[in-house]
Amino acid sequence: MARPTRRLSTRGSNPFKHALAAGQRQLGLWVSSGSPQVAEMLAAHSGLDWIVIDMEHAPNDLSSVLHQLHASQPGPAETVVRVPAPDQPALVKTLLDTGVRSILFPMVESASAAAACVAATRYPPDGIRGVMTTARMSGYATDPEALQEYYRGAADEICVLVQVESPAAVAAIPEIAAVPGVDGIFIGPSDLAAAMGLIGQVGHPKVQQAVREAIAACKAAGLPAGCISGDEKACRALLDEHGASFVAVGTDLMLLASRVRSLAGTLKR
């Protein structure tokens, strides 16, 4: 008896994308360690809704991303990949063919830039994504029906998140949010602080006000807003007071270092 083919393209619909569209809160975490084992633990055993494999600031390449996808995708948390820059359609194409279905584009400053991000994730005539058959995203073309199913439904399950990181980008949120295919806007507080001349001062009142205004602009435009903080109180404020939809509660390395320092300090005392 022939064994059934596992269809990566029909692992189910993208629960993260559809939860955002339904207005449901989603908690996530950055995976900066580059470790497949850490990615597996966080995606499958942490209770999180999404994780981010970071190619912008963490030492990840296509090979390490693939290893982490192998480990994390069987888990219930959605695996998002942040690309190094918004204008890398060749990299986006490869990531999608590798089985990624949620991508975070950093440093998006305008509606035209956001539209280019969306186009990189869409097949012609709706975009510029190249067509590959024997790739991981559809089970390596071992099932022609599954391959055609992937082609037809890929756009419905690919989640496009764009990141605003400057006052100019925050001001452009109404136009960015109106771009078809953008599923959410993530506010990057650290880079926003730097762009405001307050590098390293995410908690500064002016930076926090800008974050609140950005989330409010997303809500007014009817698009989910995301943000990140390593502070529990700040995360609760983002969710309960400001109305963010998807919030990252820190990074794997930050949490590890914090817990180890706390434990070591307690025991030494």
- The C-alpha atoms of residue 238 and residue 189 are separated, in whole angstroms, by 12
> Which amino acid, residue 3?
R
Catalytic residue among 18, 57, 67, 204: 57
| Residue 145, C-beta contacts closer than 8 angstroms, at least 6 positions apart | none
CA–CA separation, 135 vs 81, rounded Å? 18
Residues β-bridged to residue 92:
none
Let me know: does 147 contact 110? Beta carbons within 8 Å.
no
Measure the CA–CA gap between 166 and 115, rounded to whole angstroms: 18
- Asked whether the beta carbons of 79 and 53 are under 8 A apart, the reply is yes
How many residues does the structure list for the chain? Answer: 269
Task: Answer whether 23's CB lies under 8 Å from 243's CB.
Answer: no
**Catalytic residue at 57?**
yes
Q: Which positions are annotated as active-site residues?
A: 57
